[in-house]
Amino acid sequence: MKLSVVIPVMNEEENIPPLFDAVKEALRDIDYELIMVDDGSSDATVQRMKEQADERTKIIVLNRNFGQTTAMAAGIEEAKGELIATLDGDLQNDPADIPMMIEKLEKEGWDLVAGRRKKRQDGMFLRKIPSKIANAIIRRSTGVYLHDYGCTLKVFKRDVAKNLGLYGELHRFIPVLAKMYGAKITEVDVRHHPRIHGESKYGIGRTFRVISDLLLMLFMQKYKTKPMHLFGTLGVPMLGIGLLIDAYMFVLKLFGENIGQRPLLILGVMLTLGGIQLITTGFIAELIMRTYFESQNKKPYTVKEVYVGKAKAVDEEKDQAST
């Protein structure tokens, strides 16, 4: 199968019929499957999907709302295609952009082609401005230079999509996860339509969740396989400074000075305890990391290709002997 299209939806009953029509029209010349993942809808979304489903459609109904990232991961897990495309179910993404993205991926040798909403049809103050700020922060902090991390419309090679490791609400950071896997990433301008039916599931309140997830991404990107480098780098200097202060205060005490009310004593004790805690946290994180990889027989690296050369030297010796 050429393509698997994964669409997570929640409470989109009015959008389902036109969404199915748009996918069929856009992909009529491609061998594809459509995987719809219902993320705990409380309306008639599931019923509408069943009414529209054909032989190309697979519907996955989750037993409650787990969030877009989990729904997307469930769909990707079921995907059988050589390529996997993801898009929102609110009709703001246009399935007609998928063939163009596939062509770019195949002709130019990319592993992931991400959409960039050229003329975004969302509110300025509650959606566009916070999104621009968040995108700029993510670009600078992760070193993955895309302009629109929030666009769900993406096309992946199968191996990239299957190895993203989507948990929590990390769908916004798919390009970063793909880069950590070793994927070659680019972006293209795609169409973006205003929402006609239903209500947006996003709001300004997600800002703090994005910041928290960004901190997690930075940790995973730089210290996932070497957490002691983070905790040890912070803990050893703290411990050293704390011990020096404690030693100094001890000497003052030996000379008869009253150190019980000295703020420096409190600082020395806090730095010493904080340094010990950071270092021991690093040890624990190292053990957890090793358990994560070894218990599941995982490797902290990915192999793109294994090439076995032919024994040319032996063949050449035989040719020379025969002559």
If we measure between CA atoms, which residue out of 99, 122, 144, 303 comes closest to residue 203?
Answer: 122
The residue type at 135 = N
Q: Is the pLDDT of residue 272 over 80?
A: yes
pLDDT average, residue stretch 59-78:
91
| pLDDT on residue 99 | 97
**What residue spans define the domains of the chain?**
3-223, 225-323
Tell me the torsion sign for CA atoms 276, 281, 283, 284. Answer: positive
Select the more confidently predicted residue: 6 or 127: 6
pLDDT, the chain, mean: 86
Tens of pLDDT, residue by residue over 46-65, are 999 999 999 999 999 998 88
What percent of the chain stands above pLDDT 90?
55
**Sequence-ordered list of residues with C-beta below 8 angstroms from that of 234, at least 6 positions apart, any chain:** 278
- Maximum CA pair distance of the chain? 98
Chain centroid offset of residue 91 CA: 23
Tens of pLDDT, residue by residue over 183-233, are 999 999 999 888 777 566 555 556 677 778 888 888 888 888 899 999 999
Kindly state which CATH superfamily the domain 3-223 is placed in: Spore Coat Polysaccharide Biosynthesis Protein SpsA; Chain A (3.90.550.10)
Instruction: Report whether 189 contacts 146 (CB < 8 A).
Output: no
**Sequence-ordered list of residues with C-beta below 8 angstroms from that of 96, at least 6 positions apart, any chain:** 22, 25, 26, 191
- C-alpha 282/C-alpha 82 separation (Å) is 40
| pLDDT on residue 97 | 96
pLDDT average, residue stretch 252-275:
92
- C-alpha 318/C-alpha 323 separation (Å) is 9
- Assign 57 to helix, strand or coil: strand
If we measure between CA atoms, which residue out of 238, 247, 242, 226 comes closest to residue 278?
Answer: 238
Q: Is the pLDDT of residue 309 over 80?
A: no
pLDDT average, residue stretch 81-85:
97
pLDDT average, residue stretch 110-123:
83
DSSP annotation string for 118-154: TT--S-IIIIIHHHHHHHHHHHHHH----S-TT---E
Tens of pLDDT, residue by residue over 137-174, are 888 888 888 888 888 999 999 999 999 988 877 888 89
Query: Both tokens of residue 144?
Result: 């993955």
Instruction: Report whether 142 contacts 118 (CB < 8 A).
Output: no
| pLDDT on residue 100 | 96
- C-alpha 144/C-alpha 229 separation (Å) is 22
In this predicted structure, which of 61-70, 126-135, 273-282 has the lowest mean pLDDT?
A: 126-135
| pLDDT on residue 122 | 60
If we measure between CA atoms, which residue out of 170, 165, 269 comes closest to residue 216?
Answer: 170
